[in-house]
Amino acid sequence: MTPSFGTRLRSAMDERGPLCVGIDPHASLLGSWGLADDIAGLERFTYTVVEALAGTVAVFKPQAAFFERFGSRGIAVLERATADLRAAGGLVVMDAKRGDIGSTMAAYAETFLRKDSPLFSDALTVSPYLGYGSLKPAVDLARESGAGLFVLALTSNPEGAEVQRAVREDGRTIGATMLAHLAEENAGEVPMGSFGAVVGATLGDLSSFDLDINGPLLAPGIGAQGATPADLPAVFGDAVRNVVPNVSRGVLRAGPDASALRDAATRYADEVRAAVAG
């Protein structure tokens, strides 16, 4: 049997360093590399990142939208990149933020979590705001495939608080409710469960939330958005060892030189390791 995503993630972060590199080929970043905002630029950018980092970074988070905007040819680049990253031992978290109900949610899950899919990924970001129960097709298929999910819980964008910090009739916020659901999914799993939360590294003191979900916490916001690895212990407290810090522009802006990309990724991984150990 395939080891669970939680097991593979813990091993990858211990071996390669606790870092997720986002692959976000937006127009301004392509331009900073001297590339055109077209399919040729997308290919050059993506495959340079894959070749430079696939063998050394633990986790990668391609943002699907930046590939989808080029249509079928962009999807083909994403398919190849996903396969190449996984073949080199990297874990792929597909950042697609899918969310729907019933058969539509099941189809989204099959796209990214079915083992024979061209876009099969180790984990998928999902939106629970049609109700946590709407994610059941993705939860079930992730378990079957040995994959994972990252559920939007406490995101770093200011607008997120409008929903995520709204208080239910039972006195608990929506974000806290999502964290509680994930803790139930991960109960008893060793070394940790496969169902994680997206929790922004820029949010400051989160001591009022129970982040101990026995699962990974995908933490965007480090680098260009203002958070630093040194901030992680204060934000995540006792759950900091399960944090998967995501850095996108902070690493990608070092390109297109492959050695500069590797140096930037290594520096961030070392800083995170030191912050968590400290």
Q: What residues act catalytically? A: 97
The whole-angstrom separation of Cα 277 and Cα 140 is 34
Contacts of residue 110, Cβ cutoff 8 Å, sequence gap at least 6: 117, 141
Q: Are 206 and 217 in contact (CB under 8 A)?
A: no
The whole-angstrom separation of Cα 126 and Cα 24 is 18
The whole-angstrom separation of Cα 4 and Cα 201 is 25
The whole-angstrom separation of Cα 9 and Cα 6 is 5
Query: CB 184: neighbour CB atoms within 10 A?
Result: 12
Query: Would you call 211 helix, strand, or coil by DSSP?
Result: coil
